[in-house]
A and B are shown apart, each in its own frame.
Chain A
Amino acid sequence: MSEDYNDNKTIQAQSSETISGSGSGVSPDIDYVRPAEIPEQDLYHGHSFITKWVFCQDAKVIGVQYFLLATFTGIIGLILSWLMRLQLGFPELASFMTAEHYYQFVTMHGMIMVVYFLTALFLGGFGNFLIPLMVGARDMVFPYLNMVSFWMFFIAVGVLLASFFVPGGPTGSGWTLYPPQAILEGTPGSGMGIMLMCISLILFVAGFTMGGLNYLITVLQARTRGMTLMRMPLTVWGIFTATVLAMLAFPALLVGALMMSLDNILGTSFFMPTILKAGEVLEYGGGSPILFQHLFWFFGHPEVYIVALPAFGIISDLISVHARKNIFGYRMMVWAIVGIGALSFFVWAHHMYVSGMNPWFGFFFATTTLIIAVPTAMKVYNWILTLWRGNIRLNTVMLWCLGFIVTFVNGGITGIFLGNVTVDVPLSDTYFVIAHFHMVMGIAPLMVIMGAVYHWFPLVAGRFLDEKLGKWHFWLTFLGAYSIYFPMHYLGFIGVPRRYFEMYDSPYMTSAVGMNEFISMAAFIVGAAQFILIYNIIRALKIGKPSGHNPWKACSLEWLTPSVPPEHGNWGERLPVVHRWAYDYSVPGAKEDFITQTTPPSDVANTEVEKT
């Protein structure tokens, strides 16, 4: 079966020159696109339920699998956050919770949300589903490896969740897993818990590397004819750059986890100095706890951008489509993504200003950190300038975009507080930090994910999600989340430290009791509001309005497949040929307010379209 498919393609590739050369229209030459240089890839088509839906090699199905599993772990993370907020707002109702439990929930919530939810969802979920469709490929270049990547992720999640059931429970060392406490008694889960956490991370990194190689090589090698790099949608640029970061950053986490496991199991002393515990000197000596922090944050800071860059890319596309206007300053946007990605490797120690590292580093890292604010600000300007003189559809997707801009700018500004070394000293390790990073890399990317779900659901399922439910979902989430994290900054100003199981009655904390109750209430509501989406999805799958082809009138390739939802192989018999960028909206002189990427120049000869 797959051989037939392949033969077809080879013929087409050979004859493509003649096809485009003799195109119908005014001037045949202007439609010329270089012929393909390599024959098309051979795809494996599943025959049984198992090969079609379980061990599947279709990137779209793998994307959905990633999405579902990441969402599942995300819901666990959400429930953990409810338990934490119950303890912080209404401790009298949480008498079942000990400090051990609390710290375990904090740790698992953090690690799940950052790695197993956001990273897996953006790269594994959206990356798999969108990259081949958006660059005009039939699939990822290594479909089998892609399948293995998902199942490695599956095992990693399994190992992570298994730690809830081992003696001592999961690790309670904070998501940063700082030694020495992570592997010493006095921290919950210091034996089995931390070991399983490290193993799970190692598996995740291994699986992710398989997927990541796929995304990179697909973008570099499998773009269709005419799809130059500077014609790619920003979504692909964002995911591509984030994957490069991940490839370089995850190894640091991997060795950190490995070395700590050795310290834990074999008694090496990579991170362990001489330690006195309960009156006895332990058999460690000479190691450096700060070394682990460098390894962790060398991964941890790029990790922020591994989540943020795909979000930047996706939001650019959503805004452009629904404002019916080209993304403003496309080239600047691409260079900003690449520049932010490169700079993100030079800022890691801004997480460590008060860690006890040489204080002279403060000058360097404060400077690099504030430099990164410039390209980031440019992106924000370009988003709002895209709205300017647009024709803005105020639908659910656009609402998520607007919500993203508000929360991202808010969180970005507080990042300037924390990046500026002096300001960080009083604020670090307080609730200001919690509020900052939840706003900027929790809520803001979540807004993007939700916008993307409402935007691309018709492509996945062929049906619309309900707009009315969507708007309820948006307003509850946006207003709720904003009222959780905006006031929380002020707890940080008071000086309330993070990771406190109980506040006691310090004079400057008692005043915060009311606020904590309010924040907890808002957290319960926001969490519950997410179930609106689940209901909406189930409802839409059954009775949602059919969307048909290209329901949003978008220009980019993923909407131009012959069948909706796209089949395995995406493009039917012939690969699309690309003639322009993905943002030709509202071109003066054009019949409609969008010109798809596959429209040849001869079809729009009398419009004022710019060459891209």
Chain B
Amino acid sequence: MHAGIIFFLVILGSVLFHIFTPWYWTDVASNWGGMDDTITLTFWVGGGVFVAVCLFMVYCVFKFSYKEDRKAEYKPEDKKLERILTWTTTLGVAALLAPGLIIWNQFISVPKNAIEIDVMAWQWGWQYRLPGEDGKLGTTQVTNINDNNPFGINLDDPYGKDDVMVQTDVINLENNRPVKILLRSVDVLHNWYVPQFRAKMDAVPGIVTYYWFEPNKTGEYEVLCAEYCGVGHYAMRGGVVVQDNQDYENWLQEQETFSDLMAKQKLLETGETKLAKK
């Protein structure tokens, strides 16, 4: 009997914990509120099943605990009951799956007006590249990367020249403008994850992966690496600043482009050769 009571309290405690928990998701700051809705739906359906199954079990413990003179029912099968349960479960599962697939379809269909951002990861840090005035990112190659070309941009690619380079781990984004994150890594797996944006995707060396979101709350957010990448994984943080249009434009103006960088390098080099000649 005591066992039944304790099991009942465990179920009750679980429900109360869920209602009163101080630990819950952060306010969503992107368009992926739909993911939260799917979670909430799954909570109601799944939580309902959990509570129902466990309460039924507790009821049985109370009602049918051992008595010498009682005989259990002998009924190997009940086709009808089994059929009803199978179809109800199938329906319930389908009801959870459908919204999930719909939102997944949105997740993998990137809007045309999304700004592409190159997020480059390594052990252990991030840096970012934005398209310049031509609106296109230049192509890259890992083997091109060096001090003068931190992103490994192909020098013969005309789109690369005006790319905006953000060589810190903090990136600014424009509020209410969809972003397509293009992820790449030069060494191992990483994952660029901002809990408030909900979305995430691994950065895989050798290929470019992507996902998209639309930030909808200005503010500063923390970036966490969400795929284990070696001993510095836990320290691989970054930042995002979501700004209104004007602030964002101001910030963008201050950033250096690839041609700026190359010009600077050239100046430096010629300076050095002049110095050497003297």
Contacts and interface: CB of A to CB of B under 8 A. Distances in A.
A165 interface: no
Interface stretch (A385-393, A529-537, A559-567): A385-393
Contact of A394 (B3, B75, B77, B225): B3
B118 to A, nearest CB: 15
B100 A422 contact: yes
Nearest to A376: B89
A362 B102 CA distance: 11
A377 B94 CA distance: 14
A327 to B, nearest CB: 8
B261 to A, nearest CB: 18
B204 interface: yes
A124 interface: no
Contact of B23 (A100, A286, A366, A494): A494
Contacts of B25: 426, 493-495
A495 B89 contact: no
A425 B200 contact: yes
Interface in A462-519: 475, 479, 482, 486-487, 490-491, 493-495, 497-504, 506-508, 511-512, 515
Contacts of B133: none
Contacts of A178: 188-189, 228
A186 B188 contact: yes
A173 B142 CA distance: 24
A184 B229 CA distance: 10
Interface residues of A, number: 114
A331 B66 contact: no
Contact of B234 (A99, A180, A273, A402): A99
Contact of B74 (A373, A377, A428, A608): A608
Given A184-B188, A495-B224, A99 B231 contact: yes
Interface string A348-391: 00000011100110110011001101100110110011011111
Given A275-B187, A392-B65, A423-B100, A355 B82 contact: no
Interface string A270-299: 000111110101000011111000000000
B60 A388 contact: yes
A328 B72 CA distance: 12
B195 interface: yes
Given A186-B188, A330-B77, A374-B90, A500 B60 contact: no
Contact of A276 (B1, B24, B187): B187
Could you say which interface size class chain B belongs to? 35 or more
Contacts of B101: 363, 366-367, 421-422
B12 interface: no
A290 B205 contact: no
Contacts of A181: 187-189, 228-230
Contacts of B268: none
B251 interface: no
A191 interface: no
Interface in B108-148: 108, 122-123, 142-143, 145-146
A409 interface: yes
B64 A289 contact: no
Nearest to A179: B188
B226 interface: yes
B154 interface: no
A325 B38 CA distance: 40
A494 B195 contact: yes
Interface stretch (B51-59, B162-170, B241-249): B51-59
A249 B235 CA distance: 35
Interface stretch (B42-50, B171-179, B252-260, B269-277): B42-50
Contact of B42 (A326, A393, A420): A420
B14 A493 contact: no
Interface string A577-595: 0000001011110000100
B107 interface: yes
Nearest to A383: B57
B97 interface: yes
B97 A399 contact: no
A331 B77 contact: yes
Contacts of B214: none
Interface in A104-148: none
B39 A423 contact: yes
Interface string A65-101: 0000000000000000000000000000000000110
A475 B7 CA distance: 10
B72 A325 contact: yes
A388 B22 CA distance: 37
Given A180-B188, A289-B205, A429-B200, A417 B39 contact: yes
Among A392, A399, A587, A593: residue with most chain B CB under 10 A: A392
Given A410-B50, A422-B100, A587 B74 contact: yes
A365 to B, nearest CB: 11
Nearest to A359: B108
Given A324-B72, A390-B64, A392-B64, A374 B86 contact: yes
A498 B193 CA distance: 12
B26 interface: yes
Contacts of B65: 392-394
A410 to B, nearest CB: 6
Given A273-B206, A495-B26, A384 B77 contact: no
A329 B188 contact: no
B67 interface: yes
Contacts of B89: 373-374, 377-378
Contact of A588 (B21, B71, B97, B108): B71
A410 B229 CA distance: 30
A304 interface: no
A206 to B, nearest CB: 28
Nearest to B88: A377
Nearest to A589: B74
Contact of B72 (A290, A378, A413, A593): A593
A193 interface: no
A511 B23 contact: yes
A494 B24 contact: yes
A486 B21 CA distance: 12
Interface string B66-82: 11001111111110011
B155 interface: no
A445 to B, nearest CB: 18
A323 B143 contact: no
Contacts of B157: none
A423 B38 CA distance: 7
Given A289-B206, A511-B23, A422 B103 contact: yes
Given A178-B189, A586-B74, A426 B205 contact: no
Nearest to B28: A426
Nearest to A390: B72
B231 A409 contact: no
Nearest to A289: B204
A426 B200 contact: yes
A388 B75 CA distance: 11
Contacts of B86: 374, 378
B76 A405 contact: no
A188 interface: yes
A332 B227 CA distance: 40
Interface string A403-416: 00110011001101
A174 B23 CA distance: 27
A481 to B, nearest CB: 11
Given A399-B3, A405-B53, A275 B74 contact: no
Contact of A384 (B60, B105, B227): B60
A428 B93 contact: no
B26 A508 contact: yes
Contacts of A276: 122, 142-143, 145, 186-187
The 9 closest A-B pairs by CB, nearest first: A273-B206, A495-B195, A356-B209, A181-B188, A389-B73, A413-B46, A186-B230, A586-B72, A387-B60
10 contacts: A181-B187, A181-B230, A275-B188, A275-B205, A277-B123, A281-B143, A384-B57, A429-B191, A497-B225, A500-B234
